């Protein structure tokens, strides 16, 4: 009896012996990511269904003259700026991989550097998004303006919220790393965070392509 008990539970730190050998948190985060795919798919579909259905401007890719005031709204999306922020976010995934590898190796110095880099790159992306949102509002596009405004801000806003959660998660890991140091046995926690981070990145690739690049 005692042996069985030990087999099941005396497993702090190491991978718990599960039926599949996979870590349970990792299985859970994969199911979570599956669920999130449907979440973002619904948001992106709504955006695509509502393309070109807005009754009034401003529009994403073409200029619009307000018939009442004669005011000309230029095309809203600024693709060069967003390309830069997309690059920043993609680079953060690279930093994330390096952070995970450093924790696996037990390289405490590199792990701190790369965790911090990932968080900073993520925060930079959020900075770009904040700039983008403010300039759009300035140009006359809010969530109230038209269908494009509603579906654009909610889609990219939810993505931004996911990035924010990821940055907080990364900062938490960094804080733990600085306080007591992340050991190789903690690698699973970094791994799970990395899976989430890469997923958020991949979602952005879909959003960038479908919302920004395709006219």
Partner 1 sequence: MATTVSLPAHAASAPKKYESGLWSWLATTDHKRIGQLYLYTSLTWFIVGGIEALLIRTQLYGPNGRIVSAQTYNELFTMHGTTMIFLVIMPLSAAFFNYLIPLQIGARDVAFPRLNAFSYWVFLFGGLFINVSWLFHAAPNAGWFGYAPLTTPTYSPGLNIDFWVIGLQILGVSSLAAGFNFITTVINMRAPGMHFMRMPVFTWMAFITQFMIVLAFPIITVAVTFLMLDRFFGTNFYEITAGADPLLWQHLFWLFGHPEVYILILPAFGLVSEVLPVFSRKPLFGYPVMVYSGILIAFLGFGVWAHHMFAVGMGPIADSFFSITTMLIAIPTGVKIFNWLGTMWGGSLRFTTAMKYAIALVAFFTIGGISGVMHASPPSDLQQTDSYFIVAHFHYVLFGGSMMGLFAGLYFYYPKITGRIMSERLGSWHFWLTAIGMTLTFFPMHFLGLDGMPRRISTYDAGQGWEFNNHLATVGAFMIAVGLLFMIYNWFHSMKAGEIAGNDPWGGATLEWMIPSPPPDYNFATIPTVTSRYPLWDRKSPKLTTDVPHGAAAEQEVDVTLGGKNAGRLKTPADTQLNAPTAHPSANELGIVMPTPTVKPLIAAFALGSVFIGLIMHKNLPIMFLAAAIFVLTLYSWLLTPLEPEHH
Q: Which residues bind partner 1 (CB under 8 A)?
A: 1-2, 4-10, 12, 18-20, 22, 24, 27-28, 31-32, 34-36, 38-39, 42-43, 46, 49-50, 53-55, 143-144, 146-147, 149-151, 154, 172
CB of 138 to partner 1, least distance (A): 19
CB of 7 to partner 1, least distance (A): 8
Nearer to partner 1, 56 or 91 (CB): 56
Nearer to partner 1, 38 or 80 (CB): 38
Pairwise CA distance, residues 113 & 117, whole Å? 6
What does each C-alpha distance from 147 to 48, 49, 75, 114 come to in angstroms? 11, 10, 15, 40
HEC assignment per residue over 30-94: HHHHHHHHHHHHHHHHHHHHCCCCCCCCCCCCCCEECCCCCCEECCCCCHHHHHHHHHHHHHHHH
Nearer to partner 1, 53 or 61 (CB): 53
Pairwise CA distance, residues 105 & 145, whole Å? 52
Nearer to partner 1, 107 or 191 (CB): 191
Pairwise CA distance, residues 182 & 177, whole Å? 5
CB of 155 to partner 1, least distance (A): 10
CB of 61 to partner 1, least distance (A): 17
CB of 80 to partner 1, least distance (A): 28
C-alpha closest to that of 170 among 121, 207, 130: 121
CB of 194 to partner 1, least distance (A): 17
The residues facing 72 across adjacent strands are 65
DSSP 8-state assignment for residue 212: I
Nearer to partner 1, 5 or 70 (CB): 5
Nearer to partner 1, 49 or 205 (CB): 49
- Contacts of residues 27-32 at CB distance under 8 Å and 24 or more positions apart, as own/partner, are 29/192, 29/195, 29/196, 30/195, 32/196
């Amino acid at each position: 009896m005692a042996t069985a008990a030990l087999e099941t539970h005396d497993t702090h730190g190491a991978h718990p012996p599960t039926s599949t050998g996979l870590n349970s948190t990792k299985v859970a985060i994969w199911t979570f990511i599956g669920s999130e795919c449907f979440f973002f798919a619904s948001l992106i579909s709504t955006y695509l269904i509502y393309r070109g259905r807005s009754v009034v401007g401003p529009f994403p890719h073409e200029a619009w003259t307000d018939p009442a005031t004669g005011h000309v709204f230029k095309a809203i999306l600024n693709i060069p700026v967003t390309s830069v922020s997309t690059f920043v976010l993609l680079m953060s995934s690279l930093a994330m991989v390096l952070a995970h590898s450093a924790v696996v190796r037990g390289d405490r110095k590199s792990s701190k550097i790369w965790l911090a880099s990932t968080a900073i790159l993520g925060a930079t992306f959020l900075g770009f998004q904040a700039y983008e949102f403010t300039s759009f509002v300035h140009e006359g596009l809010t969530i109230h303006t038209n269908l494009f405004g509603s579906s654009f801000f909610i889609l990219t806003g939810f993505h931004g919220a996911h990035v924010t959660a990821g940055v907080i998660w990364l900062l938490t890991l960094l804080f733990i790393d600085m306080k007591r140091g992340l050991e190789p046995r903690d690698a699973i926690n970094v791994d799970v965070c990395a899976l989430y981070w890469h997923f958020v990145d991949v979602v952005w690739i879909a959003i960038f392509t479908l919302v920004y690049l395709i006219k």
